[in-house]
Structures are given as structure tokens and as C-alpha cells.
Amino acid sequence: MAEKTKEAARAEVDVFTKTIGTLREEVAKVIVGNREIVDGVLTCMLAGSHALLEGVPGLGKTMLVRTLAEALHLQFSRIQFTPDMMPADIIGTTVIEETEAGQKSFSFRKGPIFANIVLADEVNRATPKTQSALLEAMQEHRVTVAKTSYVLDEPFFVLATQNPLESEGTYPLPEAQLDRFFFKLHVGFPDRNELHSILERTTGVAMPTVNPVLNKAQILQMQHLVREVPISRHVQDYAVRLLQATHPMHGDSLDMVKRFVKFGASPRGAQALLLAAKIRSLFEGRFAASIDDVRVVALPALRHRVLLNFEGEAEGVKTDDVLREIMKHLPETLK
């Protein structure tokens, strides 16, 4: 029985790895480069959580999410956040309906949040009230309107984007809300070859089409498999020590952390680290997470969870620099 289960587990991992490979290929038909971003988004999805994409306009953030939605064969909705947007514009609203018999009744009109993949474009342009409505749904996977709760369909996956350049008329997400995002991914500018490819693909007559690779059930199964990936103590210990090292008050923290960091990452950050490490090990076809996996996912998992102090901000220090410095000095095993 155990032997059989073992084989099944091995098979599941193999399927997972192959499926992810196929998915990557499909996305790559439309999205040029950005392998890390694609993997990051997939990681968030498989972890059952959400991603925050940050990048200047025109880098294909929205395109990426749309392509992914097509490849996943999931219901997709896009919300363009604006300052005058109200929570009801996202969640939905109750309207009076009149039947043919002339009878009137209230009925709930679902908002764009009722989808499997939600693209919250320029999320920092909405007011905090509206942002809160979205973030509540992200956390609880349900919305409540007029004392009635509506459970969101699984998988529920929000991809929020924000523009780092424009700060006027924006409402930066507070730290507590940033913490709800599994990853914060920086969308980088494509290099010359990638730009050529982008232009070739987008300026011709033929537009690339994406075939659905995964359905809901498969995604849920994969999410389940992720949770089953074992993690040994030394890897978990590394994640814990890495998280502790981001805290300036911690005894072993670096001078740089003590100088520039105001608050370190929350325990949710450690959860993100381990889950992401597991997913990465599966991406690589391995059966257990390693310290290297933790290291690789550390930046997107922790960069939005570490809060710099005034000096850090003034000095132009990036949280990525702090995290890289920590990983550089953090021993793999406790001496």
C-alpha cells in the first residue's frame, strides 16, 4: 500500500512538473521573457494566494495576467482601479428587480471580484476603503453584502499591479495589506532580444493564441500536492533564521539591518518562504525543498514585508539589498 502511494506521489510530482512546463510554454507564446515573473505568479496561484506586480506601464503586466487566465482556463476579470471607485464596484451591489408580474425584489449583482483570476490594475489608485474591500475578499475568499455572505469560487487568485513612478493621486497600500500578498514581483524592462521578440509578435497580423492547460480541478490538486511536499528541519530552520535576521531588534541581525530596517518580516513571511520553496522544488522535479529554494524565493516573498526606516528610505536603500546582504552572511546551518 505504502509502495503504491509512494509511486503515486512520484507520479503526481512528475505530472506537476510536466504541467508546469507546458503552462510555461503556453504563456511564453505571448509573454516574452519574464520567466521569473511567470514562475512567481504561478507560485502564488499554486500557494492559493495572491501576487502584487510592480512595474512601469507597458511592460505587459496586464497581458501576462490575461494570458495566464487563458492558459488556465479560468474565469478572469479585470478591475481598473480609480480614485472614485467604490467597494460596491468591486464586490457587487443589490438592485431592485421587477418581475413580469410586476413584483419587485432585491437581487444581488455580483461584482468583478467573483472570478477565479482577478486582475486589480493599478490597485494603489483606489481609495483605502475600496482597497480594503478587495483585500478582505483576498484574505477571506468571501464577500458579505447586506448581511449575506457570498463565497468566492476556488481557486481565487488576485493579481494586483501598481506603478512605482506615479505617486500623485495614489493611495499606497498599507503594510498590513501588503502582507496579504504572497509575492511582490518586480517586472523588469525587457532586454534587446526580448524587445525584438515582443515587437515581432505584437505588430504582425497573426496574434499568438494560448491553449488552456489547466482547469480548476487540476489546479486545486496541484495546490494540495504543494502542501504535501516535505521539508526537513534544517531548511525550515534556515527560513526561520532568515526571517529573524530581518528584524533589527534581533541579537544576530546585521548592522545594515539595525541601521536601515524599521520592522522585519511577519511570520506570514516565513509561511510564504516555505510554501514557495516547496513549489519551487516541485518546479524542479524534486521531492523536498532545499535551502537554495528558500534563498531563491526570499526576495519576492519578503521584500514587501520588510519595512525600511527613515534613514533607509533617505539613503535609497532597497529591501532587496538588505535581504541579499542577510543571505550573504547567514550560515546555512547553525554552528
What is the nearest approach in angstroms of other proteins to the Cβ of residue 223? 15
Given phi > 0 = left and psi -120 to 50 = alpha, else beta, which region is 176? alpha
Question: From CA 259, how far away is CA 174, in angstroms rounded?
Answer: 22
For other proteins, the closer CB: 13 or 299: 13
The answer to whether 115 and 159 are in contact (CB under 8 A) is: no
Q: Residue 245: which residues within 8 A CB-CB, separation 6 or more?
A: 252, 253, 254, 257, 264, 326, 330
What is the nearest approach in angstroms of other proteins to the Cβ of residue 331? 7
User: Residue 9 interacts with other proteins (CB under 8 A)?
Assistant: yes
For other proteins, the closer CB: 193 or 232: 232
Of 236-295, which residues contact other proteins (CB under 8 A)?
Answer: 281, 284, 286-293
Element (H, E) at 62: helix 61-72
What is the nearest approach in angstroms of other proteins to the Cβ of residue 281? 8
**Among positions 58, 102, 169, 331, the unique one binding other proteins when judged by CB under 8 A:** 331
User: Residue 5 interacts with other proteins (CB under 8 A)?
Assistant: yes
For other proteins, the closer CB: 140 or 332: 332
The answer to whether 90 and 111 are in contact (CB under 8 A) is: yes
Judged by CB under 8 A, the stretch of 78-86, 102-110, 124-132, 224-232 that binds other proteins is 224-232
Question: From CA 267, how far away is CA 223, in angstroms rounded?
Answer: 21
**Among positions 35, 232, 267, 315, the unique one binding other proteins when judged by CB under 8 A:** 232
**Among positions 235, 273, 274, 297, the unique one binding other proteins when judged by CB under 8 A:** 235
Pick the closest to residue 159 from 74, 264, 84 (CA basis). Answer: 74
For other proteins, the closer CB: 14 or 97: 14
Question: From CA 314, how far away is CA 321, in angstroms rounded?
Answer: 15
Chain residues that interact with other proteins, rule: CB under 8 A: 2-3, 5-6, 8-10, 13, 228-230, 232-235, 281, 284, 286-293, 331-335
